[in-house]
Amino acid sequence: MDLIQKAIAWGTRKSPWVIHFNAGACNGCDIEVVDALTPRFDLERAGILKQGSPRHADVLIVTGAVTLQVRDRLIQIYEQMPDPKFVIAVGACACSGGIFNGCYCVTGGVDTVIPVDAYVPGCAVRPEALISAVSQLLEKLENKEKAEEQKEKKDKYETLQGGEDLGK
């Protein structure tokens, strides 16, 4: 990783920006997502900020079962997000379709449309559960960076071992 990539990874890890998308929820989970951002639970203490544009967001928080009406919009928002991007399915409806699974207009949970990194089950979820999911994603991102650094070091070592005589 060069210096610019390391700086971008550090910024993403230290201050991820989230965007919230309601795919057709009853607003119970939406209220809890907003509640997690209020001073009572203060998701911002981890550096997490709510963003209005998917082009600047790192984490997509989706609530509600995915309907045929919003499926294409959800895919479009996901594709507009820069890499690395993470998706959190919040609530029973977003995880599996919930009580609406099997309806004529519901395709199911979020994972039927886009890949999901973390699931927060419940109806409605607690803000503490959402905070826990976001912190797990940050740990996942940090572990991914450490694994990439170890791989680079190993590759560099193997290059040195194979390409030079090293005093033999």
> Which residue in the block uniquely carries the two structure tokens 């959402």?
130
Q: What is the pTM of this model?
A: 0.75
pLDDT of 168 reads: 47
Residue range 82-93: average pLDDT? 83
The confidence score (pLDDT) of residue 154 equals 65
- Is the pLDDT score of 98 beyond 70? yes
How confident is the model over 8-43, as pLDDT tens digits? 666 655 567 788 888 777 777 777 877 777 777 777
Query: Percent of the chain at pLDDT above 70?
Result: 74
pLDDT tens per residue across span 116-153? 888 888 887 888 888 888 878 777 777 766 666 666 66
Kind and range of the H or E run holding 86 = strand 86-90
Q: What does the pLDDT average to over 62-83?
A: 85
C-alpha to C-alpha distances, 129 to 121, 150, 155, 163, nearest whole angstrom: 9, 31, 39, 51
Average pLDDT over residues 94-122: 81
The CA distance from 84 to 162, in Å, is: 33
- pLDDT at position 34 is 77
CA distance 54 to 41: 24
Query: Which positions ≥6 away from 108 have C-beta within 8 Å?
Result: 65, 66, 96, 97, 101
Strands of 49-50's sheet, edge to edge? 49-50, 17-22, 59-63, 86-90, 118-120
